[in-house]
Amino acid sequence: MISLKHLTFIVTLLFIALSFRLAAKNTPALTIDNGKAHYIIQVIKHITWPNEADITQFNIVILGNDKKLVDALNNKADSVIRGKSISVQQFNDLAEINTAPEAIFVVNQKSASLTAIINKKYPNTLIIGNGSAIKEELMIGLLVAKNVIKLSLNLELIGKQGFKISNGLLDFAGTKADFKKQLIDKETTLTKALNDAKVKEAQLKKLNASLANTKTALQKTQSDLDKQNDQLFQIQAELASLKNSRNAIKQELMARKHDLLAQQTLITEKEQEQQRQQQKLLQLKSAIAENEQKLQLQIKELEQQNTIIERKEQKISGQQKLLYITIALALIILLLKFIVLRVSKNRKAANEELAHLNEQLYELATQDDMTKLYNRRHFLELAQRELSQLQRTKGAGAVLMIDIDHFKNINDSYGHAAGDQAIINVANILKDNLREYDMVGRLGGEEFAMFLPNCEIEIATKIAERMRVKIASLSTSYQQTSIKLTVSIGLTAKRADETNIDNIIQRADKALYQAKNSGRDRVVAL
């Protein structure tokens, strides 16, 4: 008969063997490739891409024939990082890639030129390679030495390419010399436990016959095992709580480490600022010393100058009497000159005032005060003089008579001030359309006359029509009121035998009346 103690021992061994078998079945082999895959996934988790918003999934592209690494990464490809899935592809050569990779290259060839090509062709690609990141000009390198994996970061190149690294990756890339040793120790322990379980399983097979006769004891043992399972669940719950506490402590330590790094940076900046201030202080001291030397030299120069000044003062005192006499004579001469200039200035001012008065008298005698055009008398004199000249040279000429349409209505509706403004506006347009030798005058009221020497009737008609159109498009503004104006124009050409300007004006005036009677706002030629 097997004792209860032996039966309990056998059942315990059976439970342990089954646990190890389940663990061995569900745990993948911990190899170097698994370690590399683990490091690559951690790198993706702790690095932000410059085009992160445009990435929909992280594509890990492996260059080179490394099936184990591909399998190890595929086992982890079901991970989701920042809401993005992971895919794994393998190519033997860079030229085989038919689409631009969005995220990762894992280079298994040690070639600086190859990484340079990748950097140029895919600037937003993070390159992870075997070997040192600095020597191989990589961003991140996986070093494998004596079964130990280390992570090498080229921070300068990573930052230059626009990638951002979290503090977690900096911690993760610390000392990992014993990582491989731990993996091997765990693998050895699991292998040994598996072998022990196999031996125990063989022993248990031999005892299967005896277990058939001990059902009652086995039930009691099963009850004890249930209690032990309850204790085991309780221990597992406590272990989970300890793990949570450990994670909280780890997060707090990382936060304190971040604060410590910030304080160290601030201290470094303060020290640099203090060094700059000290350098400035030394420069100021040096400048003060130089200024003191210059001041001593200037004091000596001032003493020398004082001596020279004293000598000059003695010499000047002897010359002052002669200077006083010279000044008195100069003042007398200046006074006489001032009197002469004053008389000359008064005479010149009187002459200028007389010339100005003569100009004003001439303007009053020849110009219309409102429009600044020739008045009727002066216009007729100039036109008669020009007509006599044309008779001698047998030249052509034309006379235009212009009258503002419905002018009385403007005065009656808007007042005489609005009528005056309308006359001024029309006069300005007439002046703007004059040639250098043409003449224009206001004959009275709203009536104007133009004399165009050396001008044929066709050209005069075009000039008249152009002025009519401009006046019709003009709006006279008066007290926020817009007044539309039109004119009627009559014109005639000088005849070969005509010597009196009044006859030509009368004929042009008849043409003006025809324009008025035929509807106004038009040009009529006779």
pLDDT band at 13; cut points 50, 70, 90: low
What percent of the chain lies above the pLDDT cut of 70? 82
Q: Is residue 76 part of a domain?
A: yes
DSSP β-ladder status, 397-404 and 447-453: antiparallel
Task: From 177, 196, 223, give the residue that closes a domain.
Answer: 177
Assigned domain for 424 exists: yes
Query: Who contacts 478 (Cβ-Cβ below 8 Å, separation ≥6)?
Result: 414, 417, 418, 421
Closest CA to 467 of 513, 390, 404, 411: 404
From 177, 209, 232, the end of a domain falls on 177
Burial label for 99, CB within 10 Å (0-12, 13-18, 19+), is: exposed
Whether 168 maps to a domain, the answer reads: yes
177-192 pLDDT, tens digit per residue, is 444 444 455 567 667 7
* Number of domains present in the structure of the chain: 2
In the block, tokens 């001024």 appear at: 424
**Residue 208 has what pLDDT?**
77
Q: What residues are paired with 59 via a beta bridge?
A: 87
307 in any annotated domain:
no
Over 50: is that where the pLDDT of 176 sits?
no
pLDDT in tens, 442-474: 998 899 999 999 999 999 999 999 999 999 988
Tell me how far apart the alpha carbons of residues 141 and 334 are, in angstroms, rounded to a whole number.
99
Residue 294 lies in a domain: no
DSSP 1: -
Q: Which domain does 72 fall in, by range?
A: 31-177
pLDDT at residue 403 greater than cutoff 90: yes
CATH number at residue 79: 3.40.50
CA 148 – CA 135 distance, rounded (Å): 19
**CATH number of the domain that 414 lies in?**
3.30.70.270
426 domain residue, yes or no: yes
Identify the three-state secondary structure at position 90.
strand
What is the rounded average pLDDT of the residues 339-367?
65
142 and 179 Cβ atoms separated by less than 8 Å = no
Query: What residue type is 525 in one-letter code?
Result: A
With bands split at pLDDT 50, 70 and 90, how would you rate the model's confidence at 112? low
Residue 135, SS3?
A: coil
Per-residue 3-state assignment (H helix, E strand, C coil) for 485-515:
CCEEEEEEECCCCCCCHHHHHHHHHHHHHHH
Residue 521 forms part of a structural domain = yes
User: Does residue 324 belong to any structural domain of this protein?
Assistant: no
Residue 356 forms beta bridges with which residues?
Answer: none
pLDDT tens-digit series, residues 80-106:
888 888 888 888 877 777 766 765 666
CA distances from 199 to 15, 206, 218, 347 (A): 14, 11, 22, 145
DSSP one-letter string for 441-454:
EEEETTEEEEEEET
So what's the pLDDT on residue 23?
A: 46
pTM of the model: 0.36
Question: 104-107 and 85-91: which strand pairing?
Answer: unpaired
Integer Cα distance of 410 and 373 in angstroms: 22
Looking at 177, 195, 228, which one is the last position of a domain? Answer: 177
Pairing mode, strands 140-145 and 164-165: unpaired
Instruction: Return the number of other C-beta atoms located less than 10 Å from residue 335's C-beta.
Output: 10
404 dihedral zone (left: phi>0; alpha: psi -120 to 50; beta): beta
Do the Cβ atoms of 427 and 448 come closer than 8 Å? Answer: yes
Largest CA distance in the chain: 170
